[in-house]
Amino acid sequence: MEDEISLRELIEILLKGKWGIVAVTAVAVLISGVLSFFVLEPTYEARATMLVVQPKMEAASSDNGALSRYLQSISESTQLSLDTYVNQVKNPVLLDRVRNRLELDPYEYTIRKMGDIIKVSTPEQTNLIEIVITHTDPELAATMANTLAEEFVEFINEQSKERVNQSIVVLEQQLASEEEKMNAALDAYTNFLSESRGVAHVEQAYNAKVALLTQFQTELAHTKVALATTKAGLAEGEKTLAELSPVISTEKSLIEDDLLRDYINENTGESLSQMTGLKMESQEVNNAYISLLQQVNADRVAVKELEKKLASLEETIEQTAMEIETLQIELAEKRAVEERLLNKLGDAKWAFNRLVQKYDEALIASAIDSAEAQINLVAPALVPVSPVGPRKMLNLAIAGVLGVMVGAFVVFLRHYWITSAEQTAGNNATHGCS
């Protein structure tokens, strides 16, 4: 059965070896003190703070989306994000410029070593960039921090100008293309307006035909009314005419007619009394019938003429309506073509104006130091007074803790070594006696 060791025994072991633990701890603290106070050089931190002004980007227009996205990409290409600025601080080209400006030894201050002593950070929820230089020379640390910040602004400005110049070249090419498109659209619209049957001409012809059709329809309505009235009068006249006789029959005594009476008296010698019983029947033309017949015939002729006129008007109206329909289709087509040409010309002008605006902005941006407008050194690095390392008290505390741990380990190892040796000797003696 394995031996068990109690907490009391552990404490007794530690108490027995307390001086050993104290000795090891003292040696560790002493070594740490010598290194911290006499061997290690003090290091200093110089901190330079820059403010990055992030310009507000324009929202892409919903109109003519492809061109808006294209212009948006050009704008974004000339502006960097905060993370991009941070990553550019340790650019080897930039570090080499700092080294050359400060005339540092390239063998002692390699690009890698310079990158190791530079720390770049961005405090949360801010547009600040902090450059921290850690060096044993406080003045050199401050000088390096400020020089790096200045060179960074100049470096970003050069990069921005290069990107702006590239954008200007692209915009010039695009401007030439859009100007050609706009001129082509303008020529197409001008040629359309110069056609003999343009929108105005077709619209004028259409309005004239519509007015003529209205006139014909009004005349047709009046003709229908006149025809109906004439037919009604004709029917009434024919009905009345059918009831009248063409002649009027009359019967009278001979003595009532003076001419016949004198003639008979002279030739026959008969007395008037003898002629009293004689009757004479005669027929006369009915003037009312003749007059009505003439009116009926006139109405019949009028009906024929009105029917002929009505048929002619209906045919003319139908033909005019077909002409109006043809003109309407032609006018709609002309208007559609005009609208399409105007839209094309308007889009071309809009695109050209947008490109001109961006081109002018790019020219202005190329003429100013855009980096200085976007990045400002708000807090130059000062020469640090207090070193940040080595942290002497912390080193001593850590050495003390490690000394206690190592001392305790040595005490337990010594106790184990002694007890295990005694047990081995005792076991060997027991086997010898047996």
Residue 281 has what pLDDT? 66
Q: Cis peptide leading into 390, omega within 30 of 0?
A: yes
Residue 37 has what pLDDT? 75
Q: Exposed/middle/buried for 407, CB within 10 Å: 0-12, 13-18, 19+?
A: buried
**What SS3 state is found at 11?**
helix
For the chain, domain boundaries: 7-190+354-409, 247-285
Residue 94 has what pLDDT? 92
Contact 365, 374 (CB under 8 A): no
DSSP string over 227-266: HHHHHHHHHHHHHHHHHS-SEEEEEEEGGGSHHHHHHHHH
DSSP run (H or E) holding 384: none
Handedness of CA 160, 80, 51, 49 (dihedral sign): negative
Half-sphere exposure of 215 (CA within 13 A, CB side): 8
- Tens-binned pLDDT, residue by residue, of the chain (434 aa): 345 567 888 888 888 888 888 888 888 888 888 777 776 778 899 999 999 886 654 544 544 555 555 555 555 555 677 888 889 999 999 999 999 999 999 898 999 999 999 999 998 888 899 999 999 999 999 999 999 999 998 888 888 888 878 888 888 888 898 889 889 989 988 888 887 777 888 888 889 999 999 999 999 999 999 999 999 988 998 888 888 878 777 766 655 666 666 666 666 655 555 555 556 666 677 788 888 888 889 989 999 999 999 999 999 999 999 999 998 898 898 889 889 999 998 998 998 898 888 888 777 766 665 545 578 888 899 999 888 877 778 878 888 899 889 888 888 888 888 888 777 776 666 665 55
Identity at 350, one-letter amino acid code: W
Q: Exposed/middle/buried for 115, CB within 10 Å: 0-12, 13-18, 19+?
A: middle
Per-residue b or e along 118-152, where b marks 16 or more CB atoms closer than 10 Å to that residue's CB:
bebeeeeeeebbbbbbbbeebebbbbbbbbbbbbb
Residue 62 has what pLDDT? 47
Contact 289, 241 (CB under 8 A): yes
- Write out the two tokens for 392: 């002497």
- Write out the two tokens for 23: 């000795």
Q: Exposed/middle/buried for 50, CB within 10 Å: 0-12, 13-18, 19+?
A: buried
Residue 279 has what pLDDT? 62
Identity at 344, one-letter amino acid code: K
